[in-house]
Amino acid sequence: MASNNWLQLYHDVLLETDETMLPERLKVAKAAIRSRVRQLGERDRPLERRAIGCALTNLGEIQKQQ
């Protein structure tokens, strides 16, 4: 999985207009983020880590609205 794949999948959630597709897009984006966090391990990538944190917060808010 490419290191920025999570970002594209996150953007896909934000741009999704079909409510029936949203749960699956959320699931896929969250899985990609978890995978990227594992890939990062102990590496110091503060900007990406901050972006991941913001993305997870936003995805959680979107999921609550479902």
**Domain range annotation of the chain:** 5-64
pLDDT at 43 (0 to 100): 87
The pair of structure tokens assigned to 50 is: 């901050």
- Return the DSSP state at 3: T
Q: How far is CA 63 from CA 2, 4, 40, in A?
A: 25, 22, 25
Query: pLDDT per residue over 30-40, tens digit each?
Result: 999 999 999 99
CA distances from 18 to 6, 23, 30 (A): 20, 10, 18
pLDDT score for 2: 62
Angle at 48 between CA 44 and CA 64, to 5 degrees: 130
| pLDDT value for 4 | 82
Low-confidence ranges of the chain (pLDDT < 50): 1
Whether the CB-CB separation of 66 and 22 falls below 8 Å is answered with yes
